[in-house]
Structure 1
């Protein structure tokens, strides 16, 4: 066995072997993979091997598509048949709302180059007469995917890895990780058979690895404990059954007919495929329990749990309804095994929080589908510094160790399993483990009709519904079109444009950067000029490839003290990047102190033409009549003020593009401040406003959002933000930013869409002649223009005001026009309004 390698991959399932293969293919010749048992001994061996391309995530869709394409090439390279049966995938719909879901997905699929076809019930019946169709609305059909043999594809990738120089060692368990400053020392223990169990033996070795990747599957919690981190990768039971041969199916195939596609009745919560003349049924039922919350017993190897047929009775009966010939067929085999999940269903792929050169690839609920693409894109992250797609949505740090617990992960993973086939509304909010993180004013806002969204564990108002609505109103209001919440958001947006609104922005991430080296560090770390003391600036921290890693509003409080505000969903993601960068530069720039103060400061954003009037009611100042004037408190400045008895760090900025302030306050005083502002705002008609209206308003101002327009697949110049990039100074990522140029460009579009729907930010963009030229990254409704609005990326030559385009919504093309940057108040006259 090697004792010194460039990269060590821990885990020999489909994901681990793919990572080892792709690292070698990317040029790392010294790679080793270890597996504690045999290759495929984890969840890989009992996986059903389906390859569903259907996914609402842009990044995950790319990953799945790569896998499907890649697996088809393995036999030519390795000589091993990966067992890929390209039979297609038929996803059926019993309701019009389900077809709406498919149409929204289809537009995302187009942006990733995934082929699909629409089928009517009659077409389904004509092609596959064994399927009952009279109660269907239709289906979406993927002709290029199907299913694969998980063991065969894993072995093919393993052989391809070996051919490229990867060493694969079986029966070795990782028992310890120690960072030595420039490499990891990994303690490996030889596993031995004792009484049918696999247990640690006496032989140990230490392997030095510059990089380590963990793909430990069901053993993720053990891995996390050894690394001293938390991750919400916990298995959930998944069972499927195999029937005896179905005579009708056998006759169908004997007649020379092709194999059925993988059948998915999403409304019935199951998939079915052919298996040796019979059927495999895989349900996603309620009450499937999480397992191995802390560790996998040594006695559990390639084992299964007892089948719980009562739990899947409803799904089994619905299969008989959909395929009537299966009613008299007996059961042949059953499987109930652990499949790892995460709370949102996306795997954890990327750098481990707080650690150097430690990479996670854990929590794969669709591991066979994702394995190929994960290896490809993770290898890009490790070898080149960034992947060609933005992988932030899969980053392990989206679940912060500050609040995420084992209990949370287990319960949310059970919910995620149950929701595999539940309608994935773009405005969906799931209920398990909530509320968890609440700002003090949560109860007050709930009493005023707040319907909350989940952001990094926080409860944040999405909108304010009717006071007499039951708690289920938000669920009832969801839709793929304009849901029941839409009019409430319209009223809230109008309140800010015409009067005044108050937004709870407490979830913002907040960091203090200070110390002798703070100024030199932040000047290098971000691409814009640093503000003067008492002023603020919008700026970006870039990746090594010159793309956008983090957006900051920086408030300079003293010569070497800065208050940095960033997106609420990404607190640990931002903190980890900030701390590691500061550590790297401490010797060069001097001492730098980083403090995460997110939970110390609440934030209310007050905005609208009357916002100054409301604040004037409660501000305590020697000259209250001028305290908020442009002369004393200009746009893009920050001041410490007193509102009643509450000390406030006030920032003259508004994400809505109206006159307004962010009011950062000690979080323990939040209820006092809320009551004070509410009382002062009553005579001015102040309205409580949620995140959905704010999202619409910021698009009217062309304000880019991190995770939408801003990400690791586009530079700030491609986001069309040259005013926030100071090319006269040196900063991290500058050379790559200049080298990249403008591959595509961000623009804002006004859309003449359907009367009952707006874009969600996942839609494909076309020229009038039907050529696909880009995609939306945000979407919504504009109260200023009374039509749909969106932001997105197109070819640079098309990102010009007046360009006519088309946007794909509900499987139709609708007229869209590229508008000027900041179509609402392009000269910023409203936001600069004096008092």
Structure 2
């Protein structure tokens, strides 16, 4: 066995073998894969092998697409049949809401180029007469996917890896990781069979590796302990049953190709053909998480007892949908652990706090994702970035605050939600509330309906305290939900009066020390602000794309306050700290402190915001404290609002006159009460995140995770004014080398009267797909839908007429000038 490699992959399931294969395919010559047992002995062996395209995530759709295309080429490359049966996938809908979901999903599929077709109940019945269709609304069909043999595709990728020089070693368990500062020392132990169990022997080796990738599946908790990090990947039981042959299916197959994979999402199951019978895989309620602290040594390629009572409802609904299955007996059953994460998406990317350690964990649809995950992770490792934005799958999207109990509750919920309607405005309830700002109870009493961002409870909108009869705060929709009218009123209040927003979830860091200024000047694209002033700036990836966005406040010559998106606090902190470590020797001492939970943030905005604050401000000359002369736009001042010392920033994400009031978090309730009291005479309204999202689009403010990401540069995002090309900064040369492949634009949209875009829709010109939306919503200022997205550069000129796909129809959209509301920023700068 080799004792030094460039990359060591730990885990020999479908995901691990794919990563090894793709690293070698990308040109890395010295790659080794270790498996503690046999290849496929984890969840891979008992997977049903389905390859569903369907996913509401843009990045995950690309991953699934790559897998399906790759698997069709493996036999030609390796000589091994991967066992891919391209039978198609029919996803049925029992309700109009489910069809709305499919149409929204199709928007994402369309932007990726995934083939699909729509079917009516009559068309389904004509093609597949065994399916009952009288209670269906329709279906979406993917003709190019189907199912695959998990063991066969894994072995094909393993052979492809070996052919490219990868060494694959079985029966070796990793027992320790040690970073030397330049490479990993990995202690491994030979595993031996003893009484049917797999136990460690006395034989050990140390392997040094420049890079390590963990793809340890159900053993992720053991991996987390060895690395000293948190990985919220915990298995959940998944059952499926295999029936005896169905005579009706056997007869039908005499003159027909294989039956497509069936999915009745409203009934929460999939069904596929298997040797003349059927495999039923339900996603039932109350499936338990298993092994939250690690897989027992005695558990190998084992299963749990079947719990038929738990899946009785799904079993009966299969009989309803395929009546011929009613008299067919059960032939086999499986109940095995499948790893989940709190949002159901895998963890792919650099491990938090560690160098050259990469995670590929938490794959609930591991066979579907394996090929694409290996491809894009290899791109990240070899080229520095993937060609698509992988931030939504980054392991650091979950912070260190997350506990085992939280992960268990959310992972069980993610399993149950596989087939529950995926509303864009959904807010899943498990493990909530957990992280709350002090004013949470006051907001709840005022009618706040909360969303969750990085565990923080954040008001989405404020509904009626005494709700009218029939009003359902929990009602979700793919169109304008019950919340829409309240968010629209909140947006109007900001534009015409004054509103108060809780922005406590913002990530906040202090960077200080003798090297802080030189470091930040190199780290970010914009010139640094002067003391007391504020700049918006960007940190880039090595590839020159956008890694994160910061609002930088200069508190002193060598002290800076950085504010960034609340959903990405661990993600931002990790990148910032690693960059500091890399440059501290060059620039001098730099201290980084995460102060997110020390500072609350209340944002006040609107034409009347100054008059509200004037009622509270304490100063020798209170009438002038908030004037342009003493407190200009894009500046910061320490002020007193009653008894509360406030770090006030004159910025407003809504594009109106306003301030962010950063305050000691323990004083938030006092400040909240005083602001509510002072705001009453001005008609101040409480405002949630949904209205704020619409308002920022009227100002063309790009948001990280939508317009801003690792697949576009700040120049492509149209942020030239925040990029100082006269200085050198990290990623500059790579950014300039990319050029302009597409441009970010704002569009006003004449859409359907009962819906707005969500930011996933395809854009067309002359019948050709030319771009996609990344954000969408309603514009109170213009009385129509609004969106932001990327188009070909030649179509980015204001006035360009485009078409937008919503609900299978094309709607008129027009590119408008940046910041269509108040393009000269007159309202933001207004004096008083």
User: How far off is 1:477 after superposition?
Assistant: 2.8
> How far apart, CA to CA, are the structure 2 residues paired with 1:306 and 1:703?
53
> How far apart, CA to CA, are the structure 1 residues paired with 2:201 and 2:426?
49
Of the three residues 573, 580, 583, the one matched with 1:582 is 580
User: How far off is 1:176 after superposition?
Assistant: 0.3
> How far apart, CA to CA, are the structure 2 residues paired with 1:200 and 1:360?
24
Q: For each residue in 1:44-84, what CA deviation from the matched residue of structure 2 results, as whole angstroms up to 9, or x when unmatched?
A: 00000000000000000000000000000000000000000
Counterpart of 1:783 in structure 2 is 780
Question: Is residue 473–residue 482 contact of structure 2 (8 Å, CA) maintained in 1?
Answer: no
Counterpart of 2:549 in structure 1 is 551
> How far apart, CA to CA, are the structure 1 residues paired with 2:475 and 2:598?
34
User: How far off is 1:470 after superposition?
Assistant: 10
> How far apart, CA to CA, are the structure 2 residues paired with 1:741 and 1:421?
41
Of the three residues 802, 821, 826, the one matched with 1:829 is 826
User: How far off is 1:689 after superposition?
Assistant: 0.1
Q: For each residue in 1:142-176, what CA deviation from the matched residue of structure 2 results, as whole angstroms up to 9, or x when unmatched?
A: 00000000000000000000000000000000000
User: How far off is 1:305 after superposition?
Assistant: 0.1
Q: For each residue in 1:701-754, what CA deviation from the matched residue of structure 2 results, as whole angstroms up to 9, or x when unmatched?
A: 000000000000000000011000000000000001110000000000000000
- 715 and 471 in structure 1: CA distance in 2 versus 1, 3 angstrom threshold: farther
> How far apart, CA to CA, are the structure 1 residues paired with 2:472 and 2:620?
46
Counterpart of 1:728 in structure 2 is 726
Q: Which structure 2 residues correspond to residues 714-753 of structure 1 after superposition, within 5 A?
A: 714-753=712-751
Of the three residues 638, 641, 652, the one matched with 2:639 is 641
Q: For each residue in 1:663-702, what CA deviation from the matched residue of structure 2 results, as whole angstroms up to 9, or x when unmatched?
A: 0000000000000000000010000000000000000000
> How far apart, CA to CA, are the structure 2 residues paired with 1:725 and 1:232?
37
Question: Is residue 350–residue 358 contact of structure 2 (8 Å, CA) maintained in 1?
Answer: yes
Asked if 1:316 is matched to 2:308, the reply is no
Q: For each residue in 1:311-349, what CA deviation from the matched residue of structure 2 results, as whole angstroms up to 9, or x when unmatched?
A: 000000000000000000000000000000001010000
Asked if 1:770 is matched to 2:767, the reply is yes
SS at match of 2:615: helix
Q: How many residues align?
A: 832
> How far apart, CA to CA, are the structure 1 residues paired with 2:414 and 2:471?
21
Counterpart of 2:649 in structure 1 is 651
SS at match of 2:118: strand
User: How far off is 1:469 after superposition?
Assistant: 3.7
Asked if 1:814 is matched to 2:811, the reply is yes
> How far apart, CA to CA, are the structure 1 residues paired with 2:384 and 2:466?
52
Counterpart of 1:11 in structure 2 is 11
User: How far off is 1:466 after superposition?
Assistant: 0.8
SS at match of 1:279: strand
> How far apart, CA to CA, are the structure 1 residues paired with 2:471 and 2:506?
26
Question: Over aligned residues, Cα RMSD in angstroms?
Answer: 0.9
> How far apart, CA to CA, are the structure 1 residues paired with 2:561 and 2:393?
27
Counterpart of 1:276 in structure 2 is 275
Counterpart of 2:103 in structure 1 is 103
> How far apart, CA to CA, are the structure 1 residues paired with 2:256 and 2:157?
32
Question: Is residue 33–residue 168 contact of structure 2 (8 Å, CA) maintained in 1?
Answer: yes
Counterpart of 1:306 in structure 2 is 305
Q: Which structure 2 residues correspond to residues 672-691 of structure 1 after superposition, within 5 A?
A: 672-691=670-689
> How far apart, CA to CA, are the structure 1 residues paired with 2:55 and 2:767?
24
> How far apart, CA to CA, are the structure 1 residues paired with 2:586 and 2:573?
20
> How far apart, CA to CA, are the structure 1 residues paired with 2:200 and 2:398?
32
Of the three residues 399, 404, 407, the one matched with 1:406 is 404
Question: Is residue 526–residue 542 contact of structure 1 (8 Å, CA) maintained in 2?
Answer: yes
Question: Is residue 428–residue 475 contact of structure 1 (8 Å, CA) maintained in 2?
Answer: no
> How far apart, CA to CA, are the structure 2 residues paired with 1:66 and 1:357?
25
Asked if 1:497 is matched to 2:495, the reply is yes
TM (norm. structure 2) is 1.00
User: How far off is 1:476 after superposition?
Assistant: 3.4
> How far apart, CA to CA, are the structure 2 residues paired with 1:299 and 1:621?
70
SS at match of 1:460: strand
> How far apart, CA to CA, are the structure 2 residues paired with 1:431 and 1:682?
33
Counterpart of 1:457 in structure 2 is 455
Question: Is residue 15–residue 368 contact of structure 1 (8 Å, CA) maintained in 2?
Answer: yes
> How far apart, CA to CA, are the structure 1 residues paired with 2:656 and 2:294?
52
User: How far off is 1:454 after superposition?
Assistant: 0.6
> How far apart, CA to CA, are the structure 1 residues paired with 2:721 and 2:424?
33
SS at match of 1:476: coil
Question: Is residue 116–residue 142 contact of structure 2 (8 Å, CA) maintained in 1?
Answer: yes
User: How far off is 1:630 after superposition?
Assistant: 0.2
Q: Which structure 2 residues correspond to residues 321-720 of structure 1 after superposition, within 5 A?
A: 321-401=320-400, 403-469=401-467, 476-720=474-718
Structure 1: 4+ residue segments shifted above 3 A = 469-476
TM (norm. structure 1) is 0.99
Counterpart of 1:248 in structure 2 is 248
Question: Is residue 474–residue 485 contact of structure 1 (8 Å, CA) maintained in 2?
Answer: no
> How far apart, CA to CA, are the structure 2 residues paired with 1:112 and 1:605?
37
- The answer for unaligned runs of 5 or more in structure 1 is none
